[in-house]
Amino acid sequence: MGPAFALNEARRRRLRHLLGAGEPERVSLQETPVDLAVVTANEVNDRHGTGVLVQRVLRGRTAVFSIRSRNDYGAQEFGDWQALVPQRGAARPEWFRRVLAVVGAREVRQALCVPYFPDEAATAIALQAAYGARLAVWIMDDQNVAIDGIPDPMMEELLSRASVRLVTHPELRYAYERKYGLEFWLLPAVVPDHLILRAARPVSAASSRPVLFGSFWDQRWFDRTVEVLARSGCAADWYGNNRSPWLRFAPEALERAGIVAHGVAPEAELAVLLRERPFVIVPAAELEGGEINAGVAWLSLPGRILFALAVAQAPVLVLGSEKTCAARFIRHFSVGEVVPYSAPAVRGAVERLLEPETQARYRAQAAAVAARFSDAGVVRWLEESIERGRPADERFEEAFAGYEGARVAEVLPAHRFRRRTGP
């Protein structure tokens, strides 16, 4: 770190105003400007989906300062500089003091916030206000419309300060535009371009076992999935995070269902494996009420669906409600089937998905749309979009052209879209 030095007078006045009174704390600083500050809930690494996706869209950016609110996944693996800045329960002046303590008086040109908790919103607000950074807010999973994870006034300020507001799929855009009256744009869970299959190809005969794909957000989803696969006789290999501080993955339940847990595999290895399997199984919510994480249940589109479609042309079997975002995506692009958590329904879907004609149809459709979700050039697309305050081009708008999945009013209570005027 470089030597401590005084802030220039203009910034001194501004920070004094933001902090309420008094001089800002002196901090030890590096002189190198920050080109991009990234604000996330957790460590950015390959052990969870958000970490993988953040690294993917920012690969190639330099002078990146990665700021996180929590440590849940073991190690920070991204950024030229990094810091843990929890904001839990802090008053507004303290947001600024904590950000200034780690960033100091360096210039910050752009910022990207992926908000899951109030901490990230507080940090991003302080970054934008104190440094005048061009801010992008990228919502991957809802924490404000279906649930009360981030308070409305804080979310509204965060979104209002943003140069560009991004969401991963149309349902999220519909929900947030309707609630806040601000414009949002699409940046989906893009897939590594070098892994994408662009020409239709038949499945390898290496294995007839499907892949249970991804991680679980809710104990109910895991319990239902294990139970229905056990009763339907559909054994599977599970690739996803099988270690969680919040959920219990009972080994005896997995064994009873014929599920073998392999954990998280490297992307290149996973792509090869998926190409050898007849289809993937993606659990979703039943939307029956009482979901532990309602925001994910109602408004999440699992990025693993896009990955399986693009790198392996794998048909997707979604378990759960027809009204989930996963089901809407599968129906729109005609790349799989959706069934409830019912053993007879699952058995019927498995039989259909194993038919050669069904395989050929779904794989050809996947090949036709796979390249729409490529990460090629996305790092510059994002940088330019933040600067412009709108997408640098329409590639992702075009990817979802004609998409009918955005009408979530039919499943979300109307009051969830209205701005609140009180606590």
For residue range 348-365, list pLDDT tens digits in order: 999 999 999 999 999 999
Highest-confidence range of 174-188, 243-257, 403-417, by mean pLDDT?
174-188
Angle at the Cα of 228 from the Cα atoms of 223 and 232, rounded to 5 degrees: 155
pLDDT of 127 > 80? The answer is yes
Confidence band (pLDDT; 50, 70, 90) for 214? confident
pLDDT of residue 206: 66
Confidence band (pLDDT; 50, 70, 90) for 24? very low
The token duo for 376 is 């090629």
The token duo for 177 is 């535009």
Q: What is the DSSP string of 261-325?
A: EEE---HHHHHHHHTTSS-EEEE----SS--SSHHHHHH---HHHHHHHHHH---EEEES-TTSH
H or E segment to which residue 112 belongs: strand 108-113
Taking residues 91-101, report their average pLDDT: 96
pLDDT of residue 8: 39
pLDDT digits (tens, 9 = 90+) for 286-315: 887 666 777 788 899 999 999 999 999 999
Map out the domains of the chain with their CATH numbers.
9-190 (3.40.50), 193-373 (3.40.50.2000)
Which stretch of 28-37, 281-290, 328-337 has the lowest confidence by average pLDDT?
A: 28-37
Taking residues 178-183, report their average pLDDT: 94
pLDDT of residue 160: 98
β partners of residue 318: 282, 338
Mean pLDDT score across all residues of the chain: 87
CA diameter of the chain:
73
pLDDT of 387 > 90? The answer is yes
Q: 22-35 b/e with 16+ CB inside 10 Å = b?
A: eebeebebeeeebb
The single-letter DSSP state of residue 414 is G
pLDDT digits (tens, 9 = 90+) for 135-146: 999 999 999 998
Q: In the chain, pLDDT over 90 holds for what percent of residues?
A: 70
Taking residues 166-177, report their average pLDDT: 94
pLDDT of residue 26: 39
pLDDT of 342 > 90? The answer is yes
